[in-house]
């Protein structure tokens, strides 16, 4: 392995992808970009290839790949272009790669993220949907291959930082009593149920503290993001959902906490900037400059906390329910959510229909044991069908 670490960035044109490239570019002595991927943004990916000179670029379709090749030829960039799921899995598991930033949004990230885990890579996991869908298989793949799984989601990265790092003991053997998963509460924290019925995609995507992709912004507004994160935390830290409390903290300064049996609570704090967890993941167990503004306590007037309101935000309870159901229920929850969020962003359904659709899909579809990736994918496909039917009825 070279001293300079070779990094594949899956989802390079997205919010996490661009933040990752920003951190990498600050440390040319430590990191080089091996591969960059996007779904459809040919021009943006071409520009990133000019800036970072990766060995490979991967894009969604054959057509887009041809356009990208033509552009790179004109730009005189010597990057090999691949396409589709095979291309993604190739650059996620390539022998020359040290670390893979898994930052594709949604279920589309599952196969390449799993490929990275199976190939024993250092997997920097932003794509929470992959773990929610197939947590059991994913954690098993990491154990079998000896891969390193590092959470990039700010809350999970915070929890990881607040836990003892040097022991193989379980959480309870380490004296952990609770994980306190913080949530900003999103843009509609103080909206009534009635007010939420009429909100637009633009309002839902205007997060008070974080600048993110559209899908996760809507998830934050419904609190499904916290629901997905709850399941993500269960898998990452080997804990039941009953061991995790969600704490609404509107300022997003504390990124999550761990409470110990002796009464100590350890919190990780910082300005809300994803470059902090990304830099921690890249350099772990070391620390590197991330370009993040230092936290100025003199500028923080207060840190507030409140309980989440599961009446107005039913997605959180639906996620707990899916975790308790086990098997493919979390994959069903995730797929129904992806369809409902896309329908909301396309203005086919209202904001409060999102939770209704997920609840109905969970009720209609029976859960089976998630024994193979094919079983998970079949459950995902069925949930999408059912969710689309309900969307069509509402629309
Ligand atoms: P964005 O929507 O900003 O970016 C998504 C990326 O995935 C883009 O590069 C996009 O390509 C690519 N992509 C989308 N669909 C496909 C597909 N079908 N096949 C291959 N690639 C695809 O998302 P974010 O960066 O906000 O989020 C990425 C992941 O990180 C999500 O799972 C999210 O939950 C998680 N996360 C994000 C945080 C944030 O602050 N943004 C915080 C914590 C977690 P293209 O541009 O061509 O469409
Ligand atoms: Mg998060």
What are the two backbone dihedrals, phi and then psi, of residue 271, each rounded to the nearest 5 degrees?
Answer: -65, 150
Q: Answer whether residue 2 shows pLDDT above 80.
A: no
Per-residue pLDDT at 386 exceeds 90 = yes
* Stretch 361-381: mean pLDDT: 97
Please list, in sequence order, all residues whose beta carbon lies within 8 angstroms of the beta carbon of residue 25, skipping any fewer than 6 positions away: 51, 52
User: Which residue CA neighbors atom 46 of ligand 1 most closely?
Assistant: 13
Residue 26 has a pLDDT of 98
Q: CB of 158 closer than 6 A to ligand 1? A: no
Q: Measure 18 CA to ligand 1 centroid, in angstroms.
A: 10
CA-104 nearest atom, ligand 1: 7
pLDDT at 19 over 60: yes
Model confidence pLDDT, tens digit, residues 230-285: 999 999 999 999 999 999 999 999 999 999 999 999 999 999 999 999 999 999 99
* pLDDT score for 64: 98
41 lines ligand 1 (CB under 6 A): yes
Ligand 1 atom nearest to CA at 211:
40
For residue 124, report the distance from its CA to the centre of ligand 1, in Å.
14
67 lines ligand 1 (CB under 6 A): no
Confidence bin at 95 (pLDDT 50/70/90): very high
Question: Is residue 1's pLDDT more than 50?
Answer: no
Ligand 1 within 6 A of CB of 135: no
Tell which atom from ligand 1 comes closest to the C-alpha of 16: 25
Beta bridge partners of 257: 180, 267
Q: What is the pLDDT of residues 125-157, one digit of tens each?
A: 999 999 999 999 999 999 999 999 999 999 999
Query: Which of 64, 103, 138, 252 is the pocket-test mutation for ligand 1 (most atoms within 8 Å of CB)?
Result: 103
b/e per residue 351-384 (b: at least 16 CB within 10 A): bbbbbebbbbbbeebebeebeebebbbebbebbb
209 pocket-lining for ligand 1 (C-beta < 6 Å): no
Average pLDDT rounded to a whole number, residues 64-83:
98
Task: Enter the pTM of the model.
Answer: 0.97
What percentage of the chain exceeds 90 in pLDDT? 96
The three-state DSSP-derived secondary structure of the chain is: CCCCEEEEEECCCCHHHHHHHHHHHCCCCCEEEEEEECCCCHHHHHHHHHHHCCCEEEECCHHHHHHHHHHHHHCCCCCEEEEHHHHHHHHHHCCCCCEEEECCCCHHHHHHHHHHHHCCCEEEECCHHHHHHHHHHHHHHHHHHCCEEEECCHHHHHHHHHCCCCCCCCCCCCCEEEEEEEECCCCCCCCCHHHHHCCCHHHHHCCCCCCCCHHHHHHHHHCHHHHHHHHHHHHHHCCCHHHEEEEECCCCCEEEEEEECCCCEEEEECCCCCHHHHHHHHHCCCCCCCCCCCCCHHHCCCCCCECCCCCCCCHHHHHHHHHHHCCCHHHHHHHHHHHHHHHHHCCCCCCCHHHHHHHHHHHHCCCCCCCCHHHHHHHHHHHHHHHHHHHHHHC
Token output for 10: 């899956």
Cβ neighbour number for residue 29 with a 10 Å cutoff: 8
Beta bridge mates, 151: 125
Q: What is the pLDDT of residues 214-228, one digit of tens each?
A: 999 999 999 999 999
* Cα–ligand 2 centroid distance for 154 (angstroms): 5
Report residue 210's pLDDT band, with 50, 70 and 90 as the boundaries.
confident
Contacts of 380 (CB under 8 A, 6+ apart): 107, 133, 331, 332, 334, 335
Ligand 1 lined by 61 (C-beta under 6 Å): no
pLDDT of residue 106: 96
In this model, does residue 169 exceed pLDDT 60?
yes
Q: Ramachandran region of residue 351, left (φ > 0), alpha (ψ -120 to 50) or beta?
A: alpha
Is 210 close to ligand 1, i.e. is its CB under 6 Å away? yes
Side-chain half-sphere exposure of 27, counting CA atoms within 13 A: 20
What does the alpha-carbon distance between residue 360 and residue 336 come to, in Å, rounded to a whole number? 9
Evaluate if residue 199 carries a pLDDT over 60: yes
Cα 103 to averaged position of ligand 1 atoms, centre (Å): 5
pLDDT computed for residue 338 by the predictor: 98
State in Å: Cα 264 to ligand 1 middle. Answer: 36
- The tens digit of pLDDT for each residue in 78-94 reads 999 999 999 999 999 99
Q: Is the CB of 226 under 6 A from ligand 1?
A: no
Distance in angstroms (rounded) separating the CA atoms of residues 190 and 371: 41
Confidence of residue 301 (pLDDT cuts 50, 70, 90): confident
Q: What is the pLDDT of residue 165?
A: 81
């Amino acid at each position: 392995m070279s001293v300079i670490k070779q990094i594949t960035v899956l989802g390079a044109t997205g919010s996490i992808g661009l933040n990752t490239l920003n951190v990498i570019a600050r440390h040319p002595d430590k990191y080089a970009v091996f591969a960059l991927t996007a779904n459809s943004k040919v021009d943006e990916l071409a520009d990133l290839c000019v800036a970072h000179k990766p060995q490979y670029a991967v894009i969604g379709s054959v057509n887009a790949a041809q356009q990208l090749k033509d552009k790179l030829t004109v730009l005189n960039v010597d990057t090999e272009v691949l396409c589709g799921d095979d291309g993604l899995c190739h650059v996620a598991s390539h022998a020359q790669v040290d670390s893979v930033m898994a930052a594709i949004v949604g279920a589309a990230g599952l196969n390449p993220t799993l490929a990275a885990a199976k190939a024993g890579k250092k997997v920097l996991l932003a794509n929470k949907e992959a773990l929610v869908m197939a947590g059991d298989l994913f954690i098993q793949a990491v154990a079998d291959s000896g891969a390193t799984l590092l959470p990039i989601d700010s809350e999970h990265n915070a929890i990881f930082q607040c836990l003892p790092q040097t022991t193989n003991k379980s959480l309870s053997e380490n004296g952990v009593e609770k994980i306190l998963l913080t949530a900003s509460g999103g843009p509609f924290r103080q909206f009534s149920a009635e007010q939420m019925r009429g909100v637009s995609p633009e309002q839902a995507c205007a997060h008070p503290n974080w600048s993110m992709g559209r899908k996760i912004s809507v998830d934050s507004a419904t609190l499904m993001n916290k629901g997905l994160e709850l399941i993500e935390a269960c898998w990452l830290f080997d804990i039941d959902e009953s061991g995790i409390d969600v704490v609404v903290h509107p300022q997003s300064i504390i990124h999550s906490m761990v409470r110990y049996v002796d009464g100590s609570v350890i919190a990780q704090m910082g300005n809300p900037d994803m470059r902090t967890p990304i830099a921690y993941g890249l350099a772990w167990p070391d620390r590197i400059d991330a370009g993040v503004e230092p936290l100025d306590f003199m500028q923080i007037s207060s840190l507030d906390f409140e309980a989440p309101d599961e009446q107005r935000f039913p997605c959180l309870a639906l996620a707990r329910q899916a975790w308790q159901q086990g098997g493919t229920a979390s994959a069903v929850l995730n797929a129904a959510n992806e369809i409902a969020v896309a329908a909301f962003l396309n203005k086919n359904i209202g904001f409060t229909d999102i939770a209704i659709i997920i609840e109905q899909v969970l009720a209609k579809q029976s859960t089976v044991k998630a024994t193979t990736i094919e079983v998970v994918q079949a459950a995902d496909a069925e949930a999408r069908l059912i969710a689309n039917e309900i969307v069509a009825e509402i629309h």
